[in-house]
């Protein structure tokens, strides 16, 4: 099959694209606007595959989305394109409303008309898979509570509110128009190619430079951590085996306080970088004022996807976080390009003279 992936140059999207090209015979069309967080260098290992195509398109541009669907004729859409950083949503929410809500609406409408025009066989197999977040559920109160697929939505930030809105749109297009939709809500991802504004890559890179490791409040916020390559496997399983109309929660079974995560990273860096002048790295931990509306605890109940689709995470937090630190230590060029902004020129260097695939 041919799968169109929106946001395929982002952190999770690039993991999905790499997984599909490396482990299946499917083709991928990567549609990405290439904002600051879109990095084609994260796809260097697959960009020469004849089963991979790239389109630099904004999902808010309906005319271009219609063109891409018409030209590439995908059998499924995996919608990952989104603004996703909570702090950015607090300081500038308008981009989140535009991309996450209006962009999803545009994509749904274009997909609906495309799907309605397919032959019966292809129409029955088509899927629109919307990838969302556990943050739409808000804050868990009890220490043993878990988010399930029927937990009421109570988003706390402009980011999570915009994602909640997009989830509702997807369900409405499924209910009203019969579009065969799937929704997944995941816990916090970590792993290779993570843009260094998020907690884990920020701590790794700041520690290596001897900079402060900022921790909100006391760092006692609890998150369920999911290794991004495990998430990519789960997403592919959902789009190929999931039941249309269903929602699946995807979690890593790894609940940790933020301060615990930071200290684990410091210990690993002490071990893996014995010559670092900043050891012990835990001495760089700095507690800063908490952000507004900060949810204290997220935790996913992922029993449904295990029971119905047979997916479980392969990585423990201990194995996944070690792989993550080792990846950042080995991929210094990727890190350098992100820091100096040169990764944004990758498209000119690698695509300007390449013919467009039919």
- 3-state DSSP assignment of residue 47: coil
Return the residue matching tokens 């943050």: 135
What is the DSSP-derived secondary structure letter of residue 143?
T
Peptide bond into 136 cis (omega under 30): no
Of the candidates 52, 159, 236, 248, the residue annotated as catalytic is 159
| Class of residue 6 by CB neighbours under 10 A (exposed 0-12, middle 13-18, buried 19+) | buried
Q: Please say if 26 is a catalytic residue.
A: no
Question: Buried b / exposed e across 224-245, counting CB within 10 Å, b at 16+?
Answer: bbbbbbbbbbbbbbbbbebeee
Of the candidates 41, 55, 83, 135, the residue annotated as catalytic is 135
Of the candidates 32, 58, 134, 230, the residue annotated as catalytic is 134
- 123 and 178 in contact (C-beta within 8 Å)? no
Cα dihedral 121/176/173/89 (nearest 10): -170
Measuring CA to CA, which residue among 177, 312, 60, 141 is closest to residue 31? 60
- Where helices occur in the chain by DSSP H, the ranges are 11-23, 62-72, 86-91, 94-96, 104-116, 120-125, 158-177, 199-208, 228-241, 258-272, 303-309, 317-330, 332-340, 346-351
Return the residue matching tokens 């065969």: 180
Q: Please say if 159 is a catalytic residue.
A: yes
Q: Please say if 41 is a catalytic residue.
A: no
- 158 and 90 in contact (C-beta within 8 Å)? yes
CA 328 to chain centre: 18
What is the DSSP-derived secondary structure letter of residue 297?
B
Which residues are catalytic, by number?
A: 134-135, 159
């Amino acid at each position: 099959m041919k799968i169109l992936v929106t946001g395929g140059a982002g952190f999770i999207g690039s993991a999905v694209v790499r997984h599909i090209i490396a482990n299946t015979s499917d083709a991928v069309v990567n549609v990405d606007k290439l904002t600051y967080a879109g990095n084609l260098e994260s796809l260097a290992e697959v960009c020469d595959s004849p089963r991979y195509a790239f389109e630099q398109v904004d999902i808010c541009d309906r005319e271009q989305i219609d063109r891409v669907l018409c030209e590439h004729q995908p059998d499924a859409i995996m919608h990952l394109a989104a603004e996703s950083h909570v702090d950015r949503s607090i300081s500038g929410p308008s981009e989140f409303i535009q991309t996450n809500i209006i962009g999803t609406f545009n994509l749904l409408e274009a997909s609906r008309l495309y799907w309605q025009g397919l032959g019966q066989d292809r129409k029955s197999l088509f899927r629109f898979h919307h990838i969302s977040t556990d943050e739409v559920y808000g804050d868990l109160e009890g220490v043993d509570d878990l988010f399930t697929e029927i937990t009421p939505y109570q988003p706390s930030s402009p980011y999570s509110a915009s994602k909640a809105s997009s989830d509702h749109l997807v369900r409405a297009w499924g209910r009203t128009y019969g579009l065969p939709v799937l929704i997944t809500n995941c816990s916090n991802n970590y792993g290779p190619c993570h843009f260094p504004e998020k907690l884990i890559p920020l701590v790794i890179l700041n520690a290596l430079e001897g900079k402060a490791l900022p921790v909100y409040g006391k760092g006692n916020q609890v998150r369920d951590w999911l290794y991004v390559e495990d998430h990519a496997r789960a997403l592919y399983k959902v789009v190929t085996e999931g039941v249309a109309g269903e929602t699946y929660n995807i979690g890593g079974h790894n609940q940790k306080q933020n301060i615990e995560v930071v200290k684990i990273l410091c210990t690993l860096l002490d071990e893996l970088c014995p010559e670092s002048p900043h050891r012990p790295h835990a001495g760089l931990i700095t507690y800063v004022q908490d952000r507004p509306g900060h949810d204290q605890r997220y935790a996913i109940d992922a029993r449904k996807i295990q029971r119905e689709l047979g997916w479980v995470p392969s990585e423990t937090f201990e194995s996944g976080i070690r792989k993550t630190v080792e990846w950042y230590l080995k991929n210094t060029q990727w890190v350098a390009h992100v820091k100096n902004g040169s990764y944004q020129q990758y498209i000119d260097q690698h695509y300007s003279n390449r013919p467009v695939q039919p």
